[in-house]
Structure 1
Amino acid sequence: MYFKLIVILGVITPNIIAQVPNLGFCPGYIPMADFNMNRFLGKWYESERYFTFSEVGSRCVTTNYAKGPNGKIFVSNKITNRITGVKRIIDGEINEIAKGGEGRITVKYNTLPVSYDTSYVILDTDYDSFAVLWACSGIGPIHTQNAWVMTRERLPAGTVLQKAYGVLDKYKISRAFFVKTDQESCALTADDFGTPGFAPDEVDENDGAVKSQGLEKSAVSVPEHILKSSELEKIEAPQQIKELPQESTVLNTKPESQPEKLIEKIQSA
């Protein structure tokens, strides 16, 4: 009985108490309108987030959304422990997407000892570079908030982060509680290079269906200094070796046999 209670608290606590607590009810933030889940599919890197005890010492945090053959959308969260280097994977599936094009998602996680649902709101995204996610849960007169800044690139440019900060400022979400997620020197995986199904590059404007999935956006770029050095190292091919004479004088010379020499000596004697 006590063991089950500890497990349940261990799962629920990071999602309720370990966020930023506030008095009163959850703010009525309006989710993004005309949200397109198909364009949202793919890999996202956690750039910044509200402080949570459950993610202390974590690094290289990513979230991947992928649609299965049956139409279900699966979610995979990968978190690497900063101290041990052990990677933890938490898988789930989207149970509900808000109707009417609202950016509200409910995910059910089944890989933990106790399955649970969590809901969050997409406040805004351009689908190609950044997304701002927010969640809130309340117990009586107290509520806790959580927020994430997600990016398509592991190390986004400052201009991308400024777009996300603009969304936070629009909703008056304090940036004082944000911590930066360490994404330096993370181990590369196949989906870092845009495996098919994770990085759609062409989407139908009518229904958001993926029309083609290419790897051009995710092609590995060669550093400029390497390109320059390779241009300087142009090695000329060796000159062609001159052809030998068709008939070698050595081969054409027929050595005299020993019996013929002996006969000549006898005749001359």
Structure 2
Amino acid sequence: MGLFQNIREQDTAPPRHRGSLCPTYYIYRINIIITDIRETTAPEIGESGAISYRFRFVKMGATAKMMMMIMMMMTMMMGVKGQVYFRGACPITPIIKDFDLERYLGRWFEQEKYFVAYQEVGRCWSYTYIKDYRTGNITVRADFWDILLNRPTVLTADVTAKRPYSAPSFLTYTLHGMPFIEVHAQVLATDYDSWTLEYACVPQPIGHTRRVRIQTRSPHPPYHVIEEAKTTLISLGIDVKFLEKQDTSCYKHY
């Protein structure tokens, strides 16, 4: 029996046209199975459109399995990045020319986001941006509640602004130990003190995918903070109906 199975199950939705201002999108069901024999199979596509990835590893501890699974999932999702597809090319989004990464440092708690498959391994995600003032390097520490081991888990990535003058709000994340994997995100808007909006758009052979995330300084922000963030998203032309409220019940444990 698989050690970790059915991380997320969401029936495949057929393409739907919701008018000229709304996208066609697909949601996939993803099954992850881990056993103790070294073998990796190609993804299996069922009749319903569900996608199953089957990973088998040589015997190792539970923590090592979990970390390996996260890395494998991030790798396999590099070409997809998210599960919400939109028609056409990526829209042009505004650049925060005076983005202040120093003010952005500190902890942000995830409140709502578009579905992202590799994050389904945990709950209560938060991100703490830390600067090493000796070297000038910035890292982000991702804390989440590990649903396999039922305890807090940490991932760390390096953060760089590759175009600090022309596009300082476009950030690149490189997971420690996996320099060949880069994840890109844009800070669409932030007030630095209460909320921030992170966004990414990835071109696909047909259309594109988007990642959208609302984060707040408080683990349990008042209603008006989330509403202000959503109003800002709408003003920027970002569809808020695909946002999913995230579990915040376990922030008190770490």
Per the normalisation by structure 2, the TM-score is 0.66
The one of 83, 90, 98 aligned to 2:163? 98
What is the CA-CA distance between 1:84 and the residue it aligns to? 4.3
- Does 1 or 2 have the higher relative contact order (CA < 8 Å, sep 6+)? 1
Structure 2: gaps of 5 or more residues: 1-38, 43-54, 56-68
> Is the partner of 2:118 in helix, strand or coil?
helix
Larger radius of gyration between Structure 1 and Structure 2: 1
Does 2:176 align with 1:110?
yes
Q: Indicate the residue corresponding to 1:249 in structure 2.
A: none
Task: Tell me the residue number matched to 2:190.
Answer: 125
Q: 1:26/1:12 Cα in 2 relative to 1: closer, same or farther (>3 Å)?
A: farther
User: What code does the residue aligned with 1:60 have?
Assistant: C
- Residues 40/4 of structure 1: CA separation in 2 closer, same or farther (3 Å cut): farther
Alignment partners' CA distance in 2, 1:37 and 1:95? 10
Match of 2:202 among 117, 137, 152: 137
What is the rounded CA distance, in whole Å, between the counterparts of 1:131 and 1:95 in structure 2? 18
Distance in 1 of aligned mates of 2:237 and 2:79: 21
Equivalent position of 1:81 in the other structure: 146
Task: Specify the SS of the correspondent of 2:161.
Answer: strand
The Cα RMSD (Å) is 2.6
Matched, 1:164 2:229: yes
Of the three residues 82, 85, 91, the one matched with 1:27 is 91
Percent identical residues: 23
CA contact (8 A) 2:161 2:168 kept: no
1:4-48 CA deviation, whole Å, 9 max, x = no partner?
987886323334433311222211112223100000000000011
Shift of 1:97: 4.4
Residue 11 (str. 1) matches residue 110 (str. 2): no
Alignment of 1:251-266 (within 5 A): none
> Number of residues paired by the alignment?
188
* 1:51-90: CA deviation from partner (whole Å, max 9, x where unpaired): 1222236321100100012110011111213464233322
Q: Which residue of 2 aligns with 1:49?
A: 113
1:61 is matched with 125
Deviation at 1:181, TM superposition (A): 1.2
Structure 2 distance, partners of 1:12, 1:144, is 16
* 1:71 partnered with 2:71: no
1:15–1:148 CA distance, 2 compared to 1 (3 A) = farther
2:108 and 2:188 map into 1 onto residues whose CA distance is 15
> Per the alignment, do residues 152 and 188 of structure 1 end up closer, same or farther by CA in structure 2, a change over 3 Å counting?
same
What is the CA–CA distance in structure 2 between the aligned matches of 1:12 and 1:142, rounded to whole Å?
A: 21
Structure 1 runs not aligned, ≥5 long: 190-269
Match of 1:175 among 225, 236, 240: 240
Distance 2:41 2:96 in 1: 38
Tell me the amino acid that sits aligned with residue 123 of structure 1. L
Aligned residue number for residue 104 of structure 2: 40
User: TM-score scaled to structure 1, two decimals?
Assistant: 0.62
